[in-house]
Amino acid sequence: MSTAAHEVATHRTSAAPAHPSVGAATSLLDAYRPGDRFLATPTRTLLARGVHQRVPEGSQPLAHRVATALDDARSSQSAPLVMGAIPFDQSAPSALVIPKTVRSGPALAADPLIALPAESAPAVDWEIRTEPEPEAYAKGVAAAVDRMWRGEFSKVVLARTLTLSSGNPLDLPPMVQRLARRDPSGYTFALPTSPGRTLLGASPELLVSRRGELLVANPLAGSVPRSPDLAEDVRRAAGLLQSAKDLHEHAVVVDAVHQGMGRFCHRIDVPARPTLIRTATMWHLSTTVTGVLATPEASALEIACALHPTPAVCGTPTALAREVIGETETFDRGFFTGIVGWGTPEGDGEWVVTIRCAEATERSMRLYAGAGVVAASEPEAETAETAAKFHTFLNAVGAQL
């Protein structure tokens, strides 16, 4: 087998070995360069280079177009793999490709070298522009809450952005290093979306994965900022588990994921109560939903597209929440709250909700953060939550709000 074919074939590893080689995952992180496709998940680390084939646009469903492209690629690749990003609006062009080569390693969290700190972010004189301003965002939240009390809908996710501009070209690899080393158990990604544009981030939320007949989803909804004080941090975590507002918000999302996965499963397990997961900046209510696939022809991507957008990134009912987002937000979300991930011709794969992210150009990047708004929401609290979520990325670039 040629070197290139061996690189592509290695993605079949389904989980980290019991005793992974020291540096097997971090070497891929270190090798990332702009233009590459990098994705680290709790099961593997992938570094892809070149484009063998782009998934074409067309009228057929995206999952069908991906499956056709993967089948076509089998003639020249022993084990083709699709990687990339899908926008919040699934009707918009995606950024999915079959790479020329894919190197695969164990999960970053399994590599002891990931504990080594990344270099500190250099001092940069960032120019920061907020859209909308916090006061305007809070007014949008208040208006949505008023409409919910009138019974028009039950939840909407409203976002805001920060645009960071620099007089010098951005150095992306150190940013990816800091994102990955800060939350190595999450989903770190750096993916080209168009010429001169890179989507990068560190998401905590798995939309759905498939390994053979096993499906797993990990919806997150309901969150609170971390505290540097240990006692206060524990109090916030315990309070989140008891928050009626956050538990209701979480239950709405879990129910939607349960119903969506139920179409594809003959057995499904949903825990009665959520647990907590933490990132460097946030606590989140978390539920791991598992199912046994009843339709083996359904790929992980097809199921992800059927689940997307969940109430965690859009709202409920979905169609009305989309309208409220369009009326309230003054910017195009693009790939924010979309999907990133990988998939195989056999239908296995991991697809992740695109949050805690930014889209970078040569000298600027746009950061995104959203908050779930329900009838019990307070505008000031939701504004503060988006500010806390921005810190995942602000810390990676050395910027301050």
**155 is annotated as an active-site residue:** yes
162: helix, strand or coil: strand
Alpha helix positions (H), 183-243 = 230-242
Q: Which of 7, 205, 350, 359 is catalytic?
A: 205
Q: Is the separation of the CB atoms in 305 and 63 below 8 Å? A: yes
Q: What residues contact residue 91 under an 8 Å CB cut-off, 6+ apart?
A: none
Give the span between the Cα atoms of 365 and 349, in whole angstroms.
Answer: 29
Per residue, the 3-state secondary structure of 260-287, as one string, reads: HHHCCEEEEECCCCCEEEECCCEEEEEC
Question: Which tokens hold the place of 365?
Answer: 């990047």
Six-digit token pair at 184?
């190595």
Catalytic residue among 100, 119, 155, 378: 155
Helix (H) or strand (E) holding 84: strand 82-86
Alpha-carbon span 303 to 16, nearest angstrom: 24
CB atoms within 10 A of CB 307: 22
At 155, list the tokens: 């939840």
Alpha helices by DSSP H, 108-229: 134-149, 172-182
Element (H, E) at 306: helix 300-307
Cα 169 from chain centre: 25
Question: For 340, phi and psi rounded to 5 degrees?
Answer: -125, 150
Is residue 161 helix, strand or coil? strand
Is 249 an annotated catalytic residue? no
Q: Which residues are catalytic?
A: 155, 205
